[in-house]
Structure 1
């Protein structure tokens, strides 16, 4: 009886690149946040892919600085325990 063949899937480089970009953006945002305990990094699971598709050619750290405070409709995911921010423009730029 032969051993079952090991099936391997090729690495998904595009997915790895997207996740690395989103992670850099999220950690840069967290570093800026004056109240990082109120920030839900899980919120970037929802917001990150949207930003990546729109801004993947840009530096994620620079973009985090540029967009900080402008999370728009994603505010409720990033800050689930806070009310709506008065500084939030409601848009993504």
Structure 2
């Protein structure tokens, strides 16, 4: 007799979709970044879900191109150690 612990969890398709979208966005941003070594991909763990909820119906690569340089409050997470410039406002 199997117990609940023996059963594999059901796949979470919504989470898988969100993570794939965020990953595409993050990697598209990194390709555009002229100094990719200053970029912390971990920052997208914080910013990515916000963007996904707001823009999930949009192409993540095109969105990255549109928002590049406009990370606003998330700048410190994406670029730890770099000072924020005037072009880092989050686009609506």
Both proteins in one fold, TM over 0.5? yes
SS in 2 for 1:17: helix
- Alignment partner, residue 23 of structure 1: 23
Q: Matches of residues 39-58 of structure 1 in structure 2 within 5 Å? A: 39-58=39-58
Pairwise CA RMSD of aligned residues?
A: 1.4
TM-score scaled by structure 1?
Answer: 0.91
What is the alpha-carbon distance in structure 2 between the residues aligned to residue 92 and residue 15 of structure 1? 25
The Cα shift of 1:57 comes to 0.1
Name the structure 2 match of 1:92: 91
Report the structure number with the largest CA radius of gyration: 1
Deviation for aligned residue 1:19: 0.1
Say which SS state the counterpart of residue 29 (structure 2) adopts: helix
Aligned length, in residue pairs: 91
TM-score normalised to structure 2 length: 0.92
Structure 2 gap ranges (5+): none
